[in-house]
Amino acid sequence: MTSALHATPQQFYSELFGSRAARNGEVIRRKIRDVERIVGREAFLQEMQRRGYAVVENAGQYVIFCNRDPIRRLA
């Protein structure tokens, strides 16, 4: 895994989408500060939208749903 301090946008996306969880359509999270520093918020959100993935923000993290299933908040 590449250090977040030295990752390029290409490395960031490669690691993100190459993770087992992402490949299996599961949920992953990334620190907001890392995303904004490496790829930028707008570019990141555009890529998630292009892929049809939902993203929520909580406690300094982006939670990424690596599938197109609907999200329901239960509580």
CB 45 within 8 Å of CB 11: no
Indicate if the pLDDT at residue 1 is higher than 80: no
pLDDT in tens, 11-70: 999 999 999 999 999 999 999 999 999 999 999 999 999 999 999 999 999 999 999 999
What is the model's pLDDT at position 2?
53
Q: Is 24 helix (H, G, I), strand (E, B) or coil?
A: coil
- Report how far residue 62's alpha carbon sits from residue 65's, in angstroms, rounded to the nearest whole number: 10
> What residues does 75 pair with on adjacent strands?
none
Alpha-carbon distance of 50 to 58, in angstroms, equals 22
